[in-house]
Homo-oligomer: A and B are copies of this chain.
Amino acid sequence: MSDTLKPPIVCAEVLVAVSYQSQPFEETDLSMAHEYVVTFQPSGRRGPVSLGETLLQAAHALGVEIESVCGGKGTCGKCRVHIESAQHEHLSPPTEAESRLLGAKALAGGMRLACQAQVQGDVQVFVPEESRRLEQVVRKEAGESTVPLDPAVKAYRVKLDPPTLTDLEADADRLLEALRTQHGLAGLAYDLEVLRSLPSVLRAAHWQVTALVWRGEKVVAVAPGTDDRAVLGLAVDVGTTTLAAYLTDLASGLVLATESAMNPQVAFGDDVIARMQHAKHNASGAHELQTAVVNEVMELARKAVARSGATLADIVDVVVVGNTVMHHLFLGIDTSGLASAPFVPGLQGPLDTKASEVGLAFHPSCRLHVLPVEAGFVGADNVAVLIAERPYAQDDLLLLIDIGTNGELVLGNRDRLLSTSCATGPALEGAHLEFGMRAAPGAIERVRIDPGTLDVRFKVIGLDRWHTEYPQSEVKARGICGSGVIEAVSEMLRAGIIRPDGGFAPGLSHDRVIFQQGKPWKFVLARPEETALGRAITVSQEDVRAVQLAKGALRAGAEILLRNYGASQPERIILAGAFGTYIDVEHAVNLGMFPDCDPSKIVSVGNAAGDGARFALLNCGRREEAAWVARQVEYVELATRKDFLDEFVKAIRFPGASE
């Protein structure tokens, strides 16, 4: 209809056409889709959109990334877009949510929320920098630790005696007999898929084949020849925000490739609640979520095998872990029970099935093992952390802290294990703050504040050194990610900008401290000329409060577990997940995030959930341990604890002498 940048005269023409078309709007049969052309800038993506679709839906359909933390409910205000004033009438009138979140002035200036504005004509949409969803920098590398090799799928090379007129044993029985006499395997069954090609494979291979046997129970594949061939497994950690996949050689235990990506379900809502609502309120919502994540796992697998010189058909076993909602959505299990009190999962125990049952297209007989969940929202990812770190095999009292998008704690040792989940909120991941963002390029991740001058040094993701070592125009900070928030608040506490109760120090006067009557205090981390936004990136009083609430919930949960166990402090603290990997322990301790513990005994173990998934892939004993430990962990429901509120209120304070 037009080029990427449409001259005004064409717009005018379109406006006329639209007025004509919108005339009989009330009487129109909506099933006769009126289609308009929507163009997104600066990407230039353009496509047909039906009357009544929101700009966010159009963006999803056209592959344009727009931030949407609330999943399109009109509550987060992240999906701001700009419309040329000439085209205001090509969209539905502003909603109450837009008036509240944007204000009259912004609306008048052409700002809209993409989730609210419905298409009623051709329209050009500008997606500002801060509304663009960027690919997160994902650093979920496979850990170094390993387990003894005892995978579920093993290869056995066998040579069979061909049938004769006096030996008419059926092919299937002939192979089982060879596996029995040559490898001591007895009582095996078959996948039908294997039987289908068995006669031709045996004959083409001159009766020398390699059989893949699952758990000593079932022949799942038979291939010609007895040469070594790749027998690969895929361990998958389905995080709410991030997927990580580890392509692993089942014969050597080596990780051949690690791949990660955003969980594409993010497009349907950033947190588990938004996704369950999407599943509930859309006829094919659960299916959409399921296929989205499975397709992305396939994509990761494709990259991993390409990098390793393997093929998808070499993958014969898959282990998946994830929190309870991710676990259910991945398997396509209805989340009704998880969506409202008393919050019970549909499935708690481990699951063995064919990978093809969930849509994973690897070897046709590829198996899938899904670790059990514990209780409520303490999921299979936490079980994976447990079988990776094995507190149940140790004497030391361990506190495991795993904060991804949700926060889970386990306290215990070989005597007893307690778990809980804390409503930390997304602040510790940098979300729901005014300038919060994911750990993507441009995010401030490290902060130092000079207590004397209040001068700020920070590091942004994508630049190696402190920002002061670059020309201002190259810094281009875009926001603050989780570790940056922790450091900023910690440094503000140290520098006396905020007090232990979290409030801004009264009477502070500095050009980085902004106070306007009726608005929250703010501290300027990055000056406008150091950002890609054209305005300052600040930490506000409200941001500090969000961090206080998050760390308060975490700390209170840990204290409740300690009290429940009958201990005053853990002997070791293990930080798992992205939070643990990037956070600076000293700053976290400075904020009082953890219970008292020798700082040298606080260690970060990286993606322990991924390690656990790999271990379950490589060692069936760990699967048994997982099934067992998931039942052993005593879940402590904080909501029903009378002492939680007291602990929480105490823990909201930052450490410090003053008060």
How would residues 332 to 367 of chain A score, 1 for a CB under 8 Å from any chain B CB and 0 otherwise? 111111100111111111010100011000000000
* Segment among A192-200, A404-412, A464-472, A488-496 that sits at the interface with chain B: A192-200
Query: Is A141's beta carbon under 8 Å from chain B?
Result: no
- Tally of this chain's copies: 2
Quick one: which of B171, B333, B342 contacts A195, CB cutoff 8 A?
A: B333
Given contacts A173-B349, A203-B336, A203-B337, contact A343 B168 (CB under 8 A): yes
Closest partner residue, chain B, to A357 (CB atom): B192
Query: Is A640's beta carbon under 8 Å from chain B?
Result: yes
- Contact indicator B172/A346 (Cβ below 8 Å): yes
Query: Is A376's beta carbon under 8 Å from chain B?
Result: yes
Task: Tell me the interface secondary structure of chain A in the complex.
Answer: mixed
- Contact indicator B640/A334 (Cβ below 8 Å): no
Given contacts A170-B346, A173-B349, A192-B351, contact A199 B336 (CB under 8 A): yes
Query: Is A165's beta carbon under 8 Å from chain B?
Result: yes
Given contacts A346-B170, A346-B199, A640-B165, contact A192 B331 (CB under 8 A): yes
Given contacts A198-B334, A199-B335, contact A192 B344 (CB under 8 A): no
Query: Is A520's beta carbon under 8 Å from chain B?
Result: no
Closest partner residue, chain B, to A169 (CB atom): B344
Closest-CB distance, A639 to chain B (whole angstroms): 8
How would residues 367 to 381 of chain A score, 1 for a CB under 8 Å from any chain B CB and 0 otherwise? 000000101100000
Complex interface: chain B residues within 8 A of A336 (CB): 199-200, 203
Complex interface: chain B residues within 8 A of A334 (CB): 196-200
Query: Is A164's beta carbon under 8 Å from chain B?
Result: yes
A334 to B357 Cα, complex, angstroms: 24
- Contact indicator B171/A342 (Cβ below 8 Å): no
Closest-CB distance, A153 to chain B (whole angstroms): 19
Given contacts A164-B342, A341-B165, contact A172 B332 (CB under 8 A): no
Query: Is A643's beta carbon under 8 Å from chain B?
Result: no
Complex interface: chain B residues within 8 A of A164 (CB): 342
Query: Is A637's beta carbon under 8 Å from chain B?
Result: yes
Query: Is A521's beta carbon under 8 Å from chain B?
Result: no
- Contact indicator B195/A347 (Cβ below 8 Å): yes
Complex interface: chain B residues within 8 A of A635 (CB): 168
Quick one: which of B172, B343, B346 contacts A349, CB cutoff 8 A?
A: B172
Complex interface: chain B residues within 8 A of A373 (CB): 170
Query: Is A163's beta carbon under 8 Å from chain B?
Result: yes
Quick one: which of B168, B192, B637 contacts A375, CB cutoff 8 A?
A: B168
Closest partner residue, chain B, to A637 (CB atom): B165
Closest-CB distance, A220 to chain B (whole angstroms): 14
- Contact indicator A344/B163 (Cβ below 8 Å): yes
Given contacts A173-B349, A192-B353, A192-B357, contact A168 B344 (CB under 8 A): yes
Closest partner residue, chain B, to A165 (CB atom): B342
A358 to B348 Cα, complex, angstroms: 31
Closest-CB distance, A193 to chain B (whole angstroms): 8
A43 to B82 Cα, complex, angstroms: 67
Closest partner residue, chain B, to A339 (CB atom): B199
A345 to B174 Cα, complex, angstroms: 11
A203 to B334 Cα, complex, angstroms: 11
Closest partner residue, chain B, to A171 (CB atom): B346
Closest partner residue, chain B, to A372 (CB atom): B170
- Contact indicator A168/B376 (Cβ below 8 Å): yes
- Contact indicator B196/A331 (Cβ below 8 Å): yes
A203 to B336 Cα, complex, angstroms: 8
Closest-CB distance, A419 to chain B (whole angstroms): 13
Complex interface: chain B residues within 8 A of A173 (CB): 348-349
Query: Which residues of chain A from 158 to 180 have any CB-CB distance to chain B below 8 Å in the complex?
Result: 163-165, 167-174
A-B complex: 8 closest residue pairs judged by Cβ atoms: A170-B348, A199-B346, A199-B336, A199-B334, A200-B334, A199-B337, A163-B344, A170-B345
Q: What are 18 of the A-B contact pairs (CB < 8 Å)? A: A163-B337, A164-B342, A165-B341, A167-B342, A168-B343, A168-B344, A168-B375, A170-B347, A171-B337, A171-B345, A174-B344, A192-B332, A192-B351, A196-B332, A199-B334, A199-B337, A199-B338, A200-B336
List 9 extra interface pairs beyond A172-B347, A173-B349, CB under 8 A. Answer: A164-B342, A165-B342, A165-B637, A168-B375, A170-B344, A195-B331, A198-B333, A198-B346, A203-B336
Query: What is the interface of chain A, defined by CB distance below 8 A to chain B?
Result: 163-165, 167-174, 190, 192, 195-200, 203, 331-338, 341-349, 351, 353, 357-358, 373, 375-376, 635, 637, 640
